[in-house]
Amino acid sequence: MSARETLHERFARTVKDFAQNVAVVDPSTDDRFTYAELDRASDKIASALFASGVLAGDRVGICMPKSARAVVALLGILKTGAAYVPVDAGSPPQRNAYIFSDCAVRCVIASDGAAPALLEHGNYSQTALLEGGLVLLAQSLGAEPPSSSGLAYVLYTSGSTGSPKGVMLTHGNALSFVDWCIGEFHPTPGDRFSSHAPFHFDLSILDLYVPLLSGAAIVILNEALGKNPAALAECIETQRITCWYSTPSILRLLVELGKLEQRQLSALRLINFAGEVFPIKYLRALKEIVPHPVYYNLYGPTETNVCTFYRIPDSIPADRTEPYPIGYCCDNDRARVVDLDGCDVATGDEGELVIQGGTVMRGYWNLPERTQEAYFDSTEAADGQWYRTGDVVRELKDEPGCYLYAGRRDRMIKRRGYRVELGEIEAAYHRYPAMREAAAIAVPDEQEGMLVRVFLVWNSNEGKAPSTIKLKAYAAQNLPPYMIPDRFVYLDELPQTSTDKTDYQKLAAWEAY
């Protein structure tokens, strides 16, 4: 891979080699594009952007429901030399307007349904109608927007200050990851990749660019389809998806409600999951129903995309209760486990995982201090900067270079003098028979310092949910006394973010209310 190579240049090579292959198919709309058609359609988008004043180094927003047309728009933006800034079209328009203003986008490609709200909440003017019901909105920026040469996309994630922060990722970052995927997963032009993740989520980078640089097909799973396990299972079968990628939450829903055992899923050869811990009972259940694919646990924050991986064994022992490791470093990346001072810890001891290499972001958009805080300089001057993931891991003594996830540094609390990882409490209740989901939060308390609340989702088919007395008795058998939760709350389902992860901020807000 050349250091100056771009995603769209690599895509052009695929078009040349596989012009008549299907590149994108959208089962919900029956839209489909061959590589040649996708190339021509994205050229039209690029031409319209150039005509509106977009220059290389600009940012262009995209606000539209997930579709094959959205893939056209993303490629069109890249072809101008600009970076795309995707948002969740279902989010409040004020939030999306904030993101576009913060990132100083030159213009926005919006669906006709999303355009009115953006016009109301932002400083835009409509400049053009595009094919497929898309609208081009120009943003009045006043001063010339800063250049972001080399960026491919900016993905906004929730910030600790309450405002979203933009993660800047270059073409080199993307290709470092995509080329690793191609080497590890061996995609072929006959593959059909699921596109389950929304385009503002980093899981979408594998979904989009591994197939597009391999001559394979992308199968678009839009928002409505993506959260309907029965329809999703049918789509996996009828579309003969070969390579799957999603969060464990979606795979759990497929296990529980998708009736996978009734589906013909022989085409599936690869199942990847990432974004959160996959409770072992659900992973085991999935492998029992769909045993033939190869399974991978992929790990990495948005700032690194994926930086470690672990291939799941073909058989999961019946007595295993611990989730599988996040695994080994991907090519072009390096990992260390360090203490609070940035010094390496002993093998087997817990510490923060730090990453260096090709997939690591350029920084946070317009947040130089936050960017500086995200890195530390190695004690060895020649070793350079390392990105702090905020995740606590330990290197396995019997598997050198293999890391086991212990929890988030910001989800570790001190309680009664002991360090408590909230994820360990959740894991204990995930093991409770017939318990579907568990999420723990910490609540400040004047007397105790910290109280622990656990939100639970019970499988109603198993009868009446356990009482608080039974839940505490279970904790006493599985956790040390200082980790026993103070309160339990049953919900019909846990709230989720738009990227299919548990929404802890919403749980905390409910608790405060």
CA dist 458 and 437 (Å) reads 7
* Closest to 385 measured CA to CA, from 357, 417, 415, 405: 357
Q: What is the DSSP string of 188-250?
A: -TT-EEEE-S-TTSTTHHHHHHHHHTTT-EEEE--HHHHT-HHHHHHHHHHTT--EEEE-HHH
Other beta carbons less than 10 A from residue 156's beta carbon: 26
Mean pLDDT by 10 residues, the chain (513 residues): 81 98 96 97 96 94 96 98 95 89 95 90 85 87 80 85 85 97 98 96 97 98 91 97 95 94 97 93 96 97 96 95 95 94 94 96 94 82 81 95 90 72 88 91 74 92 92 89 90 89 87 58
CA dist 35 and 75 (Å) reads 12
pLDDT of residue 81: 97
For residue 353, the SS3 value is strand
pLDDT of residue 205: 98
pTM summary value: 0.86
Per-residue pLDDT reduced to its tens digit, 317-331: 999 988 999 999 999
CA dist 275 and 496 (Å) reads 12
Q: In this structure, what are the phi and psi dihedrals at residue 198, rounded to the nearest 5 degrees?
A: -65, 155
Q: How far is CA 67 from CA 71, 182, 191, 308, in A?
A: 7, 24, 19, 30
pLDDT of residue 129: 87
pLDDT of residue 381: 46
Domains and CATH numbers, the chain: 7-226 (3.40.50.12780), 331-408 (2.30.38.10), 416-512 (3.30.300.30)
Segment 401-408 long-range contacts (CB within 8 Å, at least 24 positions apart): 401/328, 401/329, 401/335, 402/310, 402/325, 402/327, 402/328, 403/308, 403/325, 403/326, 403/327, 403/328, 403/335, 403/337, 403/353, 404/325, 404/326, 405/277, 405/299, 405/323, 405/325, 405/326, 406/350
